[in-house]
Amino acid sequence: MTATPSVTATSPPEHDGRLADNALGLPSVLFCIVTGAAPLTAMLFNVPVSVNGGGWATPAAFFIATVSLTIFSVGYIAMARRVTSAGGFYTFVSRGLGRVIGLGSGLLIALCYMIFVGAVIGVMGYFAATTVEAFTGLAIPAWAYMAVGLAIMSLLAWFHIELTAKVLGVMLIAEVLALVVLSVAVFAHGGAQGFSPQPFNPAAVFGNPGALQIFGTTAAGIALFAAFWSWVGFEMAPNYAEESREPHRIGAIATYGSVIGLGVFYMIVSYAFVTGWGLTGSVQAVSDQLNGVFASAFYPLSDRYVGGWLTVVIEILAVTSSFACAMAFYNTSSRYLFALGREGVLPRVLGRTSSHRSPGVAAMTTTVVVALYCLGFVLYDPSTEGALTKLGTWSPLLGVLGILAVQALVCVAIIRYFLTTARDGFRVWSTLLAPIIGFVAMVGACYLLIDNRAALAAAEGVPFITVLPYVPLVIFAIGVVVALVLRARRPAVYAGLGHFSLSDPVLDAPDPDQEVPA
């Protein structure tokens, strides 16, 4: 039986450390996950990045990422069926590799999501400022829009997650429809030079002739990393398990649906981009965008194949999509803080829920941390352009590196969990081979990010980029030290690390920190 915190007479029900039961159905969980990946934002920014590295073979890069992440999801879902908790990655690593490594992962992933909130708020502020100025002539700095956006997210997070899910859903549908209209129009017109199967050839990602012709070089690492980057947030399903009506069924459907659904969608839209411009023309269009000829290489496509009205819609949705994406990351980061507070790692007040059964204190703490992080970048560069080129570009590199590293640990944790604690659930494919392949993919993606970070950030020699690979290691090490201190001085708290769950049938199994006999 799963142990849960008791509620005493002095502890009101709304503060019992439990999130709202049965608050979310499958559509709501999908909205929360897919908006974290931000389809419109991913296409507007990551497709040009991928083309910059892999030329017109960008659809193939998305295909490779889709296959890799689908395989990763096999083992991930197998463990999600056994462990239901808002702790997500933190809980999974704790169960499989022990509390010490688990806590290091928990602190790292919580920080990564808060960094993503700040980064995407910066992107939102930039597009809000430039769009409003273009439409009205009113020049308001990006940081003002950032402050308003963060305030709205805080209110939505405090009052009710269902309201948040509805807001996310409306914004998601609008941005997907805009990209579908553009893609259908391109295909209906036959593109610039007709249809070609070459963009789906994975071999073309390496040494792409189009990239060589326009840029003089190719960088498959940049192409593949940009593709993987587009899925950040797909792994959120277990974080909403406590609030889902049918956590085991919804978690599996939501994860597979988001990974495969987004993959197919990304491949179609990126192929529409390449087809709309033509193979070599698509690479030249990205070159022109990088040289400031137009704000996005997607805008001329919508002008040509649909009309200026769609371009205006996409410009507006770039703002709302960024807001929805930031709000999805905000929700997940607050749930990591909630899980860590509930277990006594961080102040226990973070494990208190609001009267609406949301992780209220953790959410407001996220607001404060994100505000301070953004303030640092604003003081460094208060310009509207800085919100995009500094906060919105540099920060995601740090966040993605941390997430990919933790995902690699999750793969190892899945294998060990089913070889020891949950032997009855061991399956050769889902709990051994799939996690091994997923581990290789995540480590490879980490290498690509580190090796290409200066080019991706367009910031050679900047201290933030130079020290970027070491920041996740430091945060992870801090978590490890805290866990060791808790084990020595507060064993009761240590025993509960990563072990709050609504459904784990082996809650009281041997501690994976200790050697498990064969």
Q: For 448-462, give one letter per residue: b (16+ CB within 10 A) or e.
A: bbeebbbebbebeee
The encoded tokens of residue 318 equal: 């770039």
CATH of the domain at 34: 1.20.1740.10
Confirm whether 512 is domain-assigned: no
DSSP state string for 203-253: GGGSS-HHHHHHHS---HHHHHHHHHHTTTTGGGGGGGGGGBSSHHHHHHH
Dihedral angle, C-alpha 32, 33, 38, 39, nearest 10 °: -120
pLDDT above 50 (res 7)? no
- What's the pLDDT score for residue 251? 67
DSSP single-letter state for residue 513: T
Q: Which amino acid is at 377?
A: F
Of the candidates 127, 38, 33, which has an alpha carbon nearest to the alpha carbon of residue 80?
A: 33
Tell me how far apart the alpha carbons of residues 217 and 213 are, in angstroms, rounded to a whole number: 8
Radius of gyration of the chain (CA): 22
Averaged pLDDT, 112-139: 90
Confirm whether 511 is domain-assigned: no
pLDDT-derived band at 29 (thresholds 50, 70, 90) equals low
pLDDT above 70 (res 11)? no
Confirm whether 486 is domain-assigned: yes
Q: Evaluate whether 397 touches 453 at the Cβ level (below 8 Å).
A: yes
Confirm whether 504 is domain-assigned: no
State the alpha helices, DSSP H only, in 137-208: 142-159, 161-189
| Lowest-confidence pick of 9-13, 38-42, 293-297, 375-379 | 9-13
CA distances to 23, 126, 245, 270, 315 from 295, rounded to whole Å, are 40, 12, 43, 18, 10
Q: Evaluate whether 46 touches 222 at the Cβ level (below 8 Å).
A: no
The encoded tokens of residue 476 equal: 């992870």
- What's the pLDDT score for residue 1? 32
Average pLDDT, the chain: 83
* Number of independent structural domains in the chain: 1
Tell me how far apart the alpha carbons of residues 32 and 89 are, in angstroms, rounded to a whole number: 17
Range of the domain at 168: 13-495
pLDDT-derived band at 368 (thresholds 50, 70, 90) equals very high
Percent of the chain with pLDDT strictly greater than 70: 82
DSSP state string for 401-425: HHHHHHHHHHHHHHHHHHHTTTGGG
Confirm whether 509 is domain-assigned: no
Confirm whether 515 is domain-assigned: no
- What's the pLDDT score for residue 505? 47
Tell me how far apart the alpha carbons of residues 456 and 450 are, in angstroms, rounded to a whole number: 10
pLDDT above 70 (res 512)? no
Averaged pLDDT, 260-287: 95
Token look-up 């439409």 returns 135
Which carries the bigger pLDDT value, residue 276 or residue 45?
276
Taking only the tens place, the pLDDT of each residue in 443-471 is: 988 998 898 888 878 777 889 999 999 99
Confirm whether 513 is domain-assigned: no
Taking only the tens place, the pLDDT of each residue in 203-235 is: 999 889 999 989 888 888 888 888 887 887 776
Confirm whether 502 is domain-assigned: no
| Lowest-confidence pick of 9-13, 50-54, 217-221, 415-419 | 9-13
Taking only the tens place, the pLDDT of each residue in 295-333 is: 789 999 999 999 999 999 999 998 888 888 888 788 888
Q: Hey, which of 114-118, 133-137, 358-362 has the most confident mean pLDDT?
A: 114-118
Taking only the tens place, the pLDDT of each residue in 82-93 is: 876 555 788 889
Q: Hey, which of 129-133, 239-243, 482-486 has the most confident mean pLDDT?
A: 482-486
- What's the pLDDT score for residue 166? 66
CA angle 161, 241, 257 (to 5 degrees): 95
